[in-house]
Amino acid sequence: MRIVIIGAGMSGLACAQALEQMGHEVALFDKGRGPGGRMSTRRVALDEAQISFDHGAQFFTAREEAFRAQVEQWRKDGLVACWPAARDDAWVGTPGMNAPIAHMASVHNARFASHAMGLVREGADWRVLLHDGSRHGPYDAAVLALPAEQAAAFLGTYDLTMAACAIAARSQPCWTAMMAFAERLPIAADVLRPSGPVGWAARNSAKPGRSATEAWVVQASPAWSTEHLEDDAAQVAEFLADWLAGQAGGAPLPLPVRLHLSAHRWRYAVAQRSPKGALWNANLRLGACGDWLLGPRIELAWLSGTKLAGLIGG
C-alpha cells in the first residue's frame, strides 16, 4: 500500500519504519522546521560557539524487549548514549535529543515545513492538503501521528469513535526555559528534581556529546505551566532564570554572565495514560498512533507507532 503519515515524531517514524519493513511505501509530512517533534533540540548561535538545548524530552528509558533492541541499534550507530546523571537506565540522543528522529526521518524520506491542513477522501483514496496549497496523493491508507488534540480535528470528519477517543485525551502543557552562561554555575548536581513551580532542571551541557558552554534547561511543572499558559515568553524565561539563580544561592555573587535566555511553550507536552495502544479503522484505512494512546514517554510513542503498523499490515 501507499500510506501517508501526518506527523514525523517518534510514533510516526516508528510506524513508517515497521510499514516499510513490511514492503509498504510511506510518505511522511511534518509541520516542524526540522526533525524532533517533542524530542526537539534547539540550536542557538553565540559569538564564539553554537549551543544546543534539549527543550522537549530530557531522556528516555527502554523497558520492552523490542524497544531495547531498537535502542541498542541506535547506540551502535552513535545516535544515543547513557546519561546516568538522570537515572541508571537513562538514554539521551547524541549530539542532541533529536538524533534518532533525524536519522529515521532521513531514512524514511520525511518532509518538514509541511503543515497538513486537510485530509481528504476521494473514492477509496486519501489525499493530503498542505499549507502551501499543494495536494499530495493518492494514498491507500492514512495515519495521524499527532498529539490527541491535533489528531481530533482530522478524525472528526471520518470516524466519530476515534475522534471521541482523541477529544477525551487531555495533554498537560510545559513551559521550558533555555539558558547559557559564560562560566559554570555554582550548582554541584547536573539534575535537579524540585517541587513547586519547577518540575525538572538539568545542566544540558553535562549530557554526552554536547558543547562545553554552560547550558541549562529548566521545565516548569504541569500545574504552573497550566496556570501561566498564556503568559509572555520573556517573562516566563526570567521567572525560571530567577529560580535557577536561587538554586545557586549561598554562592558568591554575582552569577556568571548570562549568554542566552529564551522560553518555549509546549501546549501539548504530557499525554495521559491509555491502554488503547493505537487506533485503526480497516474499512476507511485510517489510523492514529502517538503517546496519547499508551502514555507520556518516548518508548510508548515508539510502541504505539509499531503497534499501528502491525494492525495495518500484519
Ligand X SMILES: Cc1cc2nc3c(=O)[nH]c(=O)nc-3n(C[C@H](O)[C@H](O)[C@H](O)COP(=O)(O)OP(=O)(O)OC[C@H]3O[C@@H](n4cnc5c(N)ncnc54)[C@H](O)[C@@H]3O)c2cc1C
Binding positions for ligand X, rule: CB under 6 A: 6-12, 29-32, 37-39, 56-60, 115-116, 145-147, 150, 174, 176, 219, 266, 269, 290-291, 296-298, 301
Neighbours of 267 (CB within 10 A): 13
Minimal CB distance to ligand X: which residue? 9
Instruction: Give the nearest distance from C-beta 16 to ligand X in angstroms.
Output: 11
Cell of 3: 500510506
Please, which residue, 2 or 115, has the CB nearer to ligand X? 115
Cell of 44: 542557538
Please, which residue, 44 or 255, has the CB nearer to ligand X? 44
- Amino acid symbol at 92: V
Per DSSP (E only), the strands in the chain are 2-6, 25-29, 41-45, 50-54, 80-82, 91-93, 110-111, 116-122, 125-130, 135-139, 141-144, 172-181, 191-192, 198-203, 214-220, 258-270, 279-281, 286-288
Instruction: Give the nearest distance from C-beta 138 to ligand X in angstroms.
Output: 18
Please, which residue, 127 or 186, has the CB nearer to ligand X? 127
Let me know how long the chain is. 314
Instruction: Give the nearest distance from C-beta 242 to ligand X in angstroms.
Output: 20
Instruction: Give the nearest distance from C-beta 161 to ligand X in angstroms.
Output: 20
Task: State the Cα–Cα distance between residues 215 and 273, nearest whole angstrom.
Answer: 32
Please, which residue, 213 or 305, has the CB nearer to ligand X? 305
Please, which residue, 48 or 230, has the CB nearer to ligand X? 230
Task: State the Cα–Cα distance between residues 273 and 228, nearest whole angstrom.
Answer: 24
Instruction: Give the nearest distance from C-beta 137 to ligand X in angstroms.
Output: 15
Please, which residue, 189 or 251, has the CB nearer to ligand X? 189
Instruction: Give the nearest distance from C-beta 30 to ligand X in angstroms.
Output: 4
Task: State the Cα–Cα distance between residues 147 and 251, nearest whole angstrom.
Answer: 42
